[in-house]
């Protein structure tokens, strides 16, 4: 294996896009020829090593007047043309719609296509169209990378058999951060203000915590997703006169510093793939309490009572109790934080790269 092509919609900042950018840069650094095929250019994209080539395979202005089906076929044709011209040893496709197009484009080319499922399949791979596409196209996959056992279990045995579970690579700035001499009395969370992260539940849970521990503050770091969640959170804060102890901090580029000395980290999502934000908090050595949300991302990272606490989704009382337990039992909190920090041994950039490299090499060999 000498040449790798990655395919996704764009490199605009998001979880899958960050992983592709990191992997592409690392493969290029290790001497591989790397090309990324995207369908459009975003406004706030991840930076690429100068050795990584970028190729546009999306629709052109002339295609805009075409029908929906015609546009879909055109996308597949552009990608197939790219594959035949570039002749990569393997194509790695990320995100739902892209997976289908990549598998269709690769049929008959002799080029192995490895797909990566990044989200909870329930709600994302269970629609009528998916039930038609999956049995038609997924058998053509040379391999599949999942993030959790829960996601893997959703699919048929033929896909599970030749798959791997690989964690996202941690940003190095979260690895090896010294333990603070003193922790603040801040309960923190990081991530977009968006409906599925259920930050309203977290705030309501913290209101109960604050009744017992009025010296503690909840700080939520993250940009507004513009779906109305921020306004809901502001309303809850205002109605409960909580402006002094529940704070929406906005986005931050220095989370490794902002979070490092917090008392604990609370994660409240109703569903996730593999949550980078939770993994980063653990790498910083924060005691964490997290919802046990589908498709098993937190459970992949956390062994309940060993390196964190897991609570049921949408359970305000359980979240309150989990936060209180970490506040009131500092010996437990310190032990969980020490164990949480070990996630960096599984998910540092070197470990994750080696897993991807080995797996892609195996997929290429099987396809010969």
pLDDT tops 80 at residue 15: no
Task: Find where tokens 């910083």 sit.
Answer: 284
d(CA 255, CA 177): 12
| Beta bridge partner(s), residue 264 | 187
| Peptide bond before residue 295 is cis, with ω within 30 degrees of 0 | yes
Among the residue ranges 42-46, 53-57, 136-140, 194-198, the one predicted with the least confidence is 42-46
Residue 5, both tokens: 């092509």
Q: What average pLDDT does this structure show over 139-163?
A: 95
d(CA 363, CA 368): 9
Render pLDDT for 87-138 as a digit per residue (tens, 0 to 9): 999 999 998 899 999 999 999 999 999 999 988 898 889 999 999 999 999 9
Q: How far is CA 36 from the centre of its chain?
A: 19
Residue 42's pLDDT is: 75
- Mean pLDDT, rounded, of the chain: 95
pTM, to two decimals: 0.84
Residue 127's pLDDT is: 93
Q: What percentage of the chain exceeds 90 in pLDDT?
A: 86
The domain spans of the chain are: 3-169+348-366, 172-346
3-169+348-366 and 172-346: identical CATH topology: yes
Alpha-helical regions (H) of the chain: 15-29, 68-86, 96-106, 128-137, 149-154, 157-161, 199-212, 229-239, 255-258, 276-283, 297-301, 316-328, 330-340, 343-347, 349-366
The band of 273, judged by pLDDT with boundaries at 50, 70 and 90, is confident
Residue 44's pLDDT is: 67
pLDDT tops 80 at residue 69: yes
DSSP characters over 338-358: HHHTTHHHHHSHHHHHHHHHH
Nearest Cα to Cα of residue 147 among 163, 131, 134? 163
The count of other CB atoms within 10 Å of the CB of residue 72 is 16
Name the architecture of domain 172-346.
Answer: 3-Layer(aba) Sandwich (3.40)
pLDDT tops 70 at residue 86: yes
Three-class DSSP category at 271? coil
Do the Cβ atoms of 122 and 115 come closer than 8 Å?
no
Residue 56's pLDDT is: 94
Q: How far is CA 211 from CA 123, 232, 245, 250, 320, in A?
A: 37, 22, 11, 25, 11
Render pLDDT for 181-196 as a digit per residue (tens, 0 to 9): 999 999 999 999 999 9
Q: What average pLDDT does this structure show over 285-299?
A: 96
d(CA 35, CA 23): 11
Q: What average pLDDT does this structure show over 224-247?
A: 97
Q: CB-side exposure of 133: number of CA atoms within 13 Å?
A: 16
CATH 3.20.20.70 fits 3-169+348-366, yes or no: no
The band of 368, judged by pLDDT with boundaries at 50, 70 and 90, is confident
Q: What average pLDDT does this structure show over 58-62?
A: 86
Contacts of 96 (CB under 8 A, 6+ apart): 119, 124, 125
Q: What average pLDDT does this structure show over 194-201?
A: 97
d(CA 167, CA 163): 13
Residue 83's pLDDT is: 98
Residue 284's pLDDT is: 98
């Amino acid at each position: 294996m000498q040449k790798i092509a990655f395919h996704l919609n764009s490199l605009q900042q998001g979880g899958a896009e960050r992983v592709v950018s990191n992997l592409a840069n690392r493969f290029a650094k290790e001497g591989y020829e790397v090309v990324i095929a995207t369908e459009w250019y975003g406004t706030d994209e991840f930076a690429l090593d100068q050795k990584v080539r970028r190729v546009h395979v999306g629709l052109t202005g002339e295609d805009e007047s075409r029908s929906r089906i015609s546009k879909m076929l055109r996308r597949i044709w552009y990608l197939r043309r790219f594959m035949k011209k570039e002749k990569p040893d393997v194509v790695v496709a990320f995100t739902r719609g892209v997976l289908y197009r990549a598998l269709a484009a690769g049929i008959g080319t002799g080029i192995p296509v490895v797909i990566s499922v990044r989200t909870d399949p329930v709600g994302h791979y269970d629609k009528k169209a998916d039930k038609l596409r999956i049995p038609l196209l997924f058998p053509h996959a040379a391999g599949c990378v999942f993030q959790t056992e829960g996601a893997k279990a959703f699919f048929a045995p033929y896909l599970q058999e030749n798959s791997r579970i690989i964690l996202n690579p941690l940003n190095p700035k979260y690895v090896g951060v010294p333990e603070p001499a003193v922790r603040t009395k801040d309960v923190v969370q990081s991530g977009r203000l968006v409906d599925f992260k259920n930050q309203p539940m977290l705030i309501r849970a913290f209101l109960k915590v604050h009744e017992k521990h009025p010296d503690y503050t909840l700080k939520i770091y993250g940009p507004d997703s513009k779906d109305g969640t921020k306004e809901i959170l502001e309303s809850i804060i205002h109605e409960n006169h909580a402006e002094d102890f529940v704070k929406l901090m906005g986005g931050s580029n220095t989370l490794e510093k902002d979070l490092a000395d917090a008392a604990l980290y609370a994660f409240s999502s109703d569903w996730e793939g593999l949550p980078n934000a939770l993994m980063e908090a653990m790498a910083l050595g924060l005691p964490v309490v997290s919802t046990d949300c589908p498709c098993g991302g937190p459970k992949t990272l956390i062994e309940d009572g060993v390196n964190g606490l897991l609570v049921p989704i949408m359970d305000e009382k359980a979240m309150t109790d989990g936060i209180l337990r970490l506040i009131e039992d500092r010996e437990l909190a310190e032990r969980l934080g020490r164990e949480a920090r070990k996630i960096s041994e599984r998910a540092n950039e070197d470990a994750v790269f080696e897993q991807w490299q080995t797996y892609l090499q195996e997929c290429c060999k099987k396809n010969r």
